[in-house]
Structure 1
Amino acid sequence: MKTLYERLEAYGKSDYYGFHMPGHKRNPVFGKEMLPYQIDITEIEGFDDLHHAEGILKDAQARASRLYQSGETHFLINGSTVGILSAVLGCTKRGDQILMARNCHKSVYHAVYLQELSPVYIYPEYLQEEQINGEIDAGEIEHILDRNPEIRAVILVSPTYDGVLSDIGRIADIVHRRKIPLIVDEAHGAHFGFGEAFPKNSNVLGADIVIHSLHKTLPSMTQTALLHMNGTIVNRERVRRYLHMLQSSSPSYVLMASMDTCMELLEKEGAQLFREYADRLQRFRRETAGLKRLKLVQTEHFDPSKLILSTAGTGWSGKEVAKILLERYHLQMEMQADHYVLAMTSICDTEEGFDRLKSALHDIDSLMEDKVNTDSCSRIQRLPRPEQIYNSSCTERKAEESGTEILSWKESIGKVSVEYAYLYPPGIPFLVPGERIDQSIIECLLYYKMMGFAIEGLKETDCIEVLKERGK
């Protein structure tokens, strides 16, 4: 049996091209070594300590702060997840209310569980024409905050996994009038603010805490991220304390070197790299504008680095197109949904990579039959809105008191779930512990199963663990 390294080495030498994260795209121009054991050290003399940075790591984080125009910036070697956990835990107290976008990553839900928070959800609008979830409405945030004065923090994701942006500047103004912090999961926007073609990052738009996944869209190794803090509303010391608790006490110098090298590249060559990258993206969109059946879609407020290839109305599913791209053209997409395919790009993508994707799309487009699709492209796209009975931590206590049972999906209607259900990627739960299972949830589960997607979070196939009802 091959070792993991041997298998990775063989894949690295193949002609498979990745339109997915990490942002370095395995492009050797932006890398130093394949597996750099020689720079994998611990906190020895002269190399500083991430948890008590006073030297080279303090300087490295200060450079990142300057580049992202933040009040302070911290290196994260446990990914954006540790930044989100630390931000939510640091901005709330046990049992608080938090306003959160329902399309947040599962790590936000885990923070809610750890802090025993009571979530108040805001749902993104649904864009019928593009058939994707849209932005968070600032006016609705204001209405929810007016009705729920006990909310102590707001967290949302912008850009979304699909590249949709919310109006962070306006939302920040609304939130700050209540003297509470705005946390923005900007994991997919680490490239924001570099180059005129890309949006401003949320630090300059007024967010109090911003989390960036460097590895998603920039030349930095997987698991590298940044947490930024701004202004005076956040108790920064509390957030730092959670970072020290939740990050490894043996941070990888390989990962930190990757982050610092990325920052150096942005500082010295970022302007030119992003100009060239923007030109490649614009040219790709021009040269695929003539597709007759497939269509590249985007919203009014959108990250141009994301390529959403819609199959709506073609009779083909996104999964079918992604499979052809992989098996016939050796192009690996980031994610496939029922009616679209998502390709992620970065400054490290090559002309050859874009040309291969363009040619493949034109080939596939010409082979498609001109027929109207069945209802498989639009039945399940809106996030379900199940009734919240308990928060996740309370659900755990109820399970200990009354017990649980595992039922088939259809038998579980009307019961309270003790499990999550989500697709990964993107890791956004459509069912959360403490929510009452209704018909929309079951339709979601059955539909995704029919489309061949793996549903994560459930212990048993085609079943859900639920709270036992009293007296049973």
Structure 2
Amino acid sequence: MERLYKKLESYSKSDYYPFHMPGHKRNKASSAGDFTFERDITEISGFDNLHHAEGILKEAQENAAQIYGTKKCFFSVNGSTAALLAAVSASVNKGGRILVARNCHKAVYHALYLRDLLPVYVYPHEDKRLGINGGISARSVERYLEENQDVQAVLITSPTYDGVVSDIKEIAEVVHRHEIPLIVDEAHGAHFRFSDYFPISAAELGADIVIQSFHKTLPSMTQTAVLHICSDRVDVGKIKRFMGIYQTSSPSYILMASMDACMDKLQKDGQQMFREFTYNLEKARERLSKCEKIKLIEASMLQGTGIYDFDRSKLLFSTVGTSINGHQLHEMLRDRYHIEMEMEAEKYVLGIAAVGDTEEGFDRLCAAIEEIDAETELVSEAVESQENTSHARMKQLMTIAQAMDAQQRRYPLEESIGKVSAEFAYLYPPGIPIIVPGEQITGQFVRNVRRYMEQGLEVQGLSDTSAETICAAARNESGQEEDSPAKE
């Protein structure tokens, strides 16, 4: 087949002159810096149109579907975000109900807002000692579906940001008994297909729509993702319509070519690449497991339900029982060793290993963790309070859309308890809300925010970036919204 990335490379060397956008006209001298302007084109003859693919882009997407064994594949140049928005919008009628795992990414909640959906939340178990969420159990999904017969779709995240995989096969069987589709946010699992070392992809286990971010764990550029259709329970026409709505009408050919090149490379050399990668990864995990204080987390250490499998490319380093916290470990790795990790949390740091990693990179990480481990002191673990749960069950008093669109008042955080949040708040990454608009603000939420900030973690989402105040939906005594503006 003709490859998009090769055709783009060839075209960049031709003598065609562009009296069309982009405005740089493929002229590097027109801008400061060295960008690949010569390959940055618009929809010109021979290069197809992502929103009406009939040629080279159609073939590229069909090739990706063939590699993953799915019925259809849609490229997303707006990451998993656009794909999640489209999947939810196409699967649930406006104003309808959806069963959602409470630890989903903020993009899912944005879809709930845009479509004015009524969510039913299923909560993962949280290992309070390590501060890590478990998976979603099929039993919980079945119970919520029995109690909410009008739910039109189910959406869960697997693997989680931390690598926890739920039993997708069993969950899919439960969901399909209710004759509705299962959407799986597999943004962090695009690599599963390429090695038996990793868990099996949801696309092979009965999920109806699977979203994957190529850029997270495969050699592809940032913002590249795909939406897989895996069954006939999905309305392809609606998916296509909403992918067109949530993506730019001028998609980057550089990004699309990156996805095409990624698939081509893995088709040709993927077996050898993943063989070397998993060998180096396992060797590093064995070495890191010998550290006495900074513990490399294994699936066996996680206490909770719904943990069906674990993605070993997620390197989680626990600081529980030591003299440092996750933020401090993250800073030490960055400042002293020039190793930038993916995420810092209260009690651990997350690093993502991927097929692009080198043996030298693994050696640097191992050496750094070993040095930090040697100088870190053990301390007695304080008894963790039940109130330190990150994703405690919250009371939903308004829909997300009602709360966000209501008149709002701003309150100091400590004075907001009992009111209805009109804003999101989350730690980013991973972007999982700790409060959602429409939920009642609790003392535990306020304590969580204060605790995160004291430990150097960044709370995002609130319009007050200092996190000293929060906007609440104004309500009168009858529970209706008041016509009063937010106080800035």
TM-score, normalised relative to structure 1? 0.90
Gaps of 5+ in 1: 1-33
Distance between the aligned counterparts of 1:243 and 1:87, measured in 2? 8
Matched, 1:215 2:219: no
SS of 2:99's partner is strand
Distance between the aligned counterparts of 2:220 and 2:368, measured in 1? 28
Matched, 1:465 2:440: no
Distance between the aligned counterparts of 1:116 and 1:230, measured in 2? 26
Deviation readout 1:54-109 (Å, 9 max, x if unpaired): 11111111110011111100111111100000000000111111000000000000
Match of 1:432 among 411, 429, 436: 436
Distance between the aligned counterparts of 1:130 and 1:470, measured in 2? 41
Q: Which has the higher contact order (CA 8 A, sep 6+)?
A: 1
Indicate conservation of the 8 Å contact 1:88/1:111, yes or no: yes
Indicate conservation of the 8 Å contact 2:399/2:438, yes or no: yes
Matched, 1:409 2:417: no
Partner of 2:403: 395
Quick one: structure 1 residues 160 and 354, their matched pair in 2 at CA, closer, same or farther if it must change by over 3 Å?
Answer: same
Q: What value does the CA root-mean-square deviation take over the aligned residues? A: 1.7
Matched, 1:89 2:92: no
Partner of 1:327: 335
Distance between the aligned counterparts of 1:426 and 1:191, measured in 2? 19
Indicate conservation of the 8 Å contact 2:131/2:346, yes or no: no
Indicate conservation of the 8 Å contact 2:129/2:320, yes or no: no
Distance between the aligned counterparts of 2:385 and 2:51, measured in 1? 49
Match of 1:341 among 346, 349, 354: 349
Quick one: structure 1 residues 453 and 110, their matched pair in 2 at CA, closer, same or farther if it must change by over 3 Å?
Answer: same
Quick one: structure 1 residues 334 and 463, their matched pair in 2 at CA, closer, same or farther if it must change by over 3 Å?
Answer: same
Deviation readout 1:278-328 (Å, 9 max, x if unpaired): 111110011122111111002252001100001110121011111111111
Distance between the aligned counterparts of 1:141 and 1:86, measured in 2? 22
Distance between the aligned counterparts of 1:114 and 1:327, measured in 2? 41
SS of 2:165's partner is coil
Quick one: structure 1 residues 452 and 234, their matched pair in 2 at CA, closer, same or farther if it must change by over 3 Å?
Answer: same
Partner of 1:63: 63
Partner of 2:155: 155
Indicate conservation of the 8 Å contact 2:190/2:214, yes or no: yes
Instruction: Figure out how many residues of one structure are paired with residues of the other and give that number.
Output: 436
Deviation readout 1:357-396 (Å, 9 max, x if unpaired): 1111111111012322556899634312220001111224
The amino acid that maps onto 1:388 is: Q
SS of 1:331's partner is coil
The amino acid that maps onto 1:327 is: D
SS of 2:84's partner is helix
Cα deviation, residue 35, structure 1: 3.2
Indicate conservation of the 8 Å contact 1:208/1:229, yes or no: yes
Distance between the aligned counterparts of 2:51 and 2:408, measured in 1? 42
Q: Which runs of 4+ in 1 moved over 3 A?
A: 128-131, 373-379
Deviation readout 1:380-430 (Å, 9 max, x if unpaired): 343122200011112245x2xxx3211111111111111111111000101
The amino acid that maps onto 2:123 is: Y
Deviation readout 1:7-56 (Å, 9 max, x if unpaired): xxxxxxxxxxxxxxxxxxxxxxxxxxx73211111111111111111111
Partner of 1:77: 77
Quick one: structure 1 residues 92 and 269, their matched pair in 2 at CA, closer, same or farther if it must change by over 3 Å?
Answer: same
Alignment of 1:14-53 (within 5 A): 35-53=35-53
Matched, 1:316 2:320: no
TM-score, normalised relative to structure 2? 0.87
Indicate conservation of the 8 Å contact 1:312/1:377, yes or no: no
Partner of 1:10: none
Distance between the aligned counterparts of 2:299 and 2:430, measured in 1? 19
Partner of 2:265: 265
Q: Mean Cα displacement is larger for which, 237-246 or 453-462?
A: 453-462
Alignment of 1:340-359 (within 5 A): 340-359=348-367
SS of 1:43's partner is coil
Distance between the aligned counterparts of 1:450 and 1:358, measured in 2? 29
Cα deviation, residue 349, structure 1: 0.5
Partner of 1:133: 133
Matched, 1:372 2:376: no
Cα deviation, residue 458, structure 1: 1.1
The amino acid that maps onto 2:86 is: S
Distance between the aligned counterparts of 2:379 and 2:56, measured in 1? 61
Matched, 1:442 2:446: yes
Deviation readout 1:421-447 (Å, 9 max, x if unpaired): 111100010111111111111111111
Gaps of 5+ in 2: 1-33, 301-308, 483-488
Indicate conservation of the 8 Å contact 2:99/2:122, yes or no: yes
Indicate conservation of the 8 Å contact 2:404/2:473, yes or no: no
Indicate conservation of the 8 Å contact 2:344/2:457, yes or no: no
